[in-house]
Amino acid sequence: MKINYEFVKREIAGEYFLIPIGEAAKVFDGIIAINELGAFIFDCLPECADAQAVTDRILERYETDRATALADVLAFFDALREAGIIVE
Amino acid sequence: MAKVKSSEPWIVDYLHSRAAKQKLPLDVTLELTARCNFSCKMCYVHNTDCNRLQPEELTAAQWLEIAAQAKASGTMFLLLTGGEPFVRADFCEIYEALAQMGFVISLNTNLSLLSERHLALFDRFPPNRINVSLYGTKNEIYAALCGVPAFETVAANIETLQARGIPVKVNSSLTPQNADDLENLMRFCDARGLVFKGAGYMFPSARLGSTGDRLPAARVAALRAQTDRHLLSPEELADRTQRILSGVAYERDRDCPEAQEGDGVRCRAGSTCAWIDWRGNMSYCGMVPAPADNNVLTQGFGACWEETRRRAAAVRLPAKCKSCEYQHLCNLCAASQLCETGGYDAPPPYICEISAHIPAAYQAVCEEIKKEHAHEDQL
């Protein structure tokens, strides 16, 4: 999993955003609003090799079952791929 | 090409609403310099002493420290302005560092000094928008108003930015030197798909202590009607004119909404927006002098923001405006009130006069349209 680190996560007024900078700003015109779980997953990405590893981290922090957490992670990964944040 | 109207993404409005409740400085203007290669007659910042005062400008490191504090305080949007930001040799250094910090950056510029270095920078870190001050459509107008015959350079640079996909908005200050060129300015923008905003009302420079070379009030009112005639459909213009004549308020500039009934500050100034001048002093609006004892370098960003909010919250516009028959179309705001009169007690005569001329100005424009249609029908 390769991450495009030209997105800066910002917490503004209690909301989370991914702001593209550099080349990413040319590809993605706008800013991405994410929820608290999205922000948590984004922070996990540098240390997690795949969706299973991210799911492990979620289960350490949130009370949920693996299937639900994994489904959320995969759905979020799809959104990140679409925005060019996960590039492969 | 169709006329382009300015619109703000809903998320910006939403964030300002959230930030206002949480008292956050969401949107901060950094006035990087007071220096400028132009010497415009109506400028509220630049004067001929500015070059001498250059040593008092903040360094790049100081601006970046301020930005870091702003980011920690919740700032998302930055507007870089001047003077002319491109006169700073270290502009690229400042801009790149700010972009990498994750700010959404816009820029005010006269665009006469755009270089390959700037373009390469904007290719790597595209700005959210570049606001270009366009003063006319002829070199002679630029020479008369700004002291530099720069129109052709600026026009070419606008096209260069557009060709690179950078959003450009045009702001035009209308003065005795260029007011006759308003139609040409609007056509220039239409032809290029540019958002246009013209202003015939010029603040007196409270910061420089001068009134400047301003248009007569009746002309300011006529220019407002002329601009609306260009931007609105005939039906929209007729509706607006009817509202003006019947005393009904209508939605206008969202950045600078009109004042009402002994109001406080109605725009975002001092609520979610702050301005830091070239010496590092913070105020709620760049049009008013920033207090020297509210300096971000010495007091810290957070303390200055609290003081700015306090000062803005204390503003109350003249009670006499409450009963004015023109309040529904008056452009008075906290900053213009202070700049015009030096206080918040008495209504400013120049703005009162402009407001009094507006109904007749819109009626005149509607009459012109009727005559033109009648003439077309005869042909």
Tokens 């803005």 -> residue: B312
Q: What is the pLDDT of residues A30-46, one digit of tens each?
A: 888 899 999 999 999 98
Q: How many whole angstroms separate alpha carbon B262 and alpha carbon B267?
A: 14
CA distance A19 to chain B (A): 6
Lowest-confidence region among B1-15, B141-155, B174-188, B329-343: B1-15
Q: Supply the pLDDT for residue B260.
A: 47
Q: Supply the pLDDT for residue B322.
A: 79
Q: Supply the pLDDT for residue B43.
A: 86
Does residue B374 belong to any structural domain of this protein? yes
State chain B's mean pLDDT as an integer: 89
Q: Supply the pLDDT for residue B306.
A: 97
Instruction: Yes or no: say if B336 and B262 are a contact pair by the CB < 8 Å rule.
Output: no
Tokens 């503003």 -> residue: B315
Q: Which of B7, B10, B12, B15 to mutate to test the interface with A (most CBs of A within 10 A)?
A: B15
- Chain B residue numbers with beta carbons less than 8 Å from the beta carbon of A33 are 11
Q: What is the pLDDT of residues B49-88, one digit of tens each?
A: 666 778 889 999 999 999 999 999 999 999 999 999 999 9
> What is the percentage of chain B residues whose pLDDT exceeds 90?
65
Nearest CA in chain A to B16: A13
Among A8, A13, A22, whose Cβ lies nearest the Cβ of B15? A13
Strands annotated E in B195-336: 195-199, 273-276, 282-283
State yes or no: pLDDT of B1 exceeds 60: no
Does residue B355 belong to any structural domain of this protein? yes
Per-residue DSSP letter, A4: -
Tokens encoding B37: 């290669």
Tokens encoding B274: 């702050």
Q: What does chain A come to in residues? A: 88
- The residue-averaged pLDDT of B170-191 equals 96
ipTM of the complex: 0.78
Q: Supply the pLDDT for residue B173.
A: 94
State yes or no: pLDDT of B192 exceeds 90: yes
Q: How many domains does chain B have?
A: 1
Q: Supply the pLDDT for residue B259.
A: 46
Does residue B111 belong to any structural domain of this protein? no
Nearest CA in chain A to B22: A13
Tokens encoding B356: 């009094």
Alpha-carbon distances, residue B174 vs B144, B177, B199, B201, B333 (angstroms):
13, 8, 6, 8, 19
- pTM listed for this prediction: 0.88
Are B125 and A21 a contacting pair at CB < 8 A? yes
Residue of B128, B93, B300, B331 lying closest to A19 (CA atoms): B128
Are B9 and A12 a contacting pair at CB < 8 A? no
Tokens 């370098």 -> residue: B297
CA distance B127 to chain A (A): 9
Could you tell me which residues of chain A have a Cβ less than 8 Å from any Cβ in chain B? 8-10, 12-15, 17, 19, 21-23, 25-26, 30-31, 33
- The residue-averaged pLDDT of B89-94 equals 97
- Chain A residue numbers with beta carbons less than 8 Å from the beta carbon of B100 are 8, 21-22
Return the SS3 of B274. Answer: strand
How many contacts, defined by CB atoms under 8 Å, are there between A and B?
Answer: 49
Does residue B97 belong to any structural domain of this protein? no
**B332 lies in which domain range?**
217-253+317-379
Q: How many whole angstroms separate alpha carbon B245 and alpha carbon B230?
A: 20
Instruction: Yes or no: say if B50 and B83 are a contact pair by the CB < 8 Å rule.
Output: yes
Domain ranges, ordered by start, for chain A: 7-83
Q: What is the pLDDT of residues B197-253, one digit of tens each?
A: 999 999 887 777 776 678 999 999 999 999 999 989 888 999 999 999 988 766 555
- The residue-averaged pLDDT of A61-84 equals 93
Q: How many whole angstroms separate alpha carbon B118 and alpha carbon B42?
A: 27
Could you tell me which residues of chain B have a Cβ less than 8 Å from any Cβ in chain A? 9, 11, 15, 18-19, 21-22, 24, 26, 71, 74, 76, 99-104, 123-126, 165
- The residue-averaged pLDDT of B31-44 equals 90
Return the SS3 of B31. Answer: strand
| Confidence tier at A57 by pLDDT (50, 70, 90) | very high
Does residue B234 belong to any structural domain of this protein? yes
Tokens encoding B127: 């700005």
State chain A's mean pLDDT as an integer: 89
State yes or no: pLDDT of A7 exceeds 70: yes
Per-residue DSSP letter, A86: B
Lowest-confidence region among A20-29, A79-88, B5-14, B193-202: B5-14
Q: Supply the pLDDT for residue A5.
A: 77
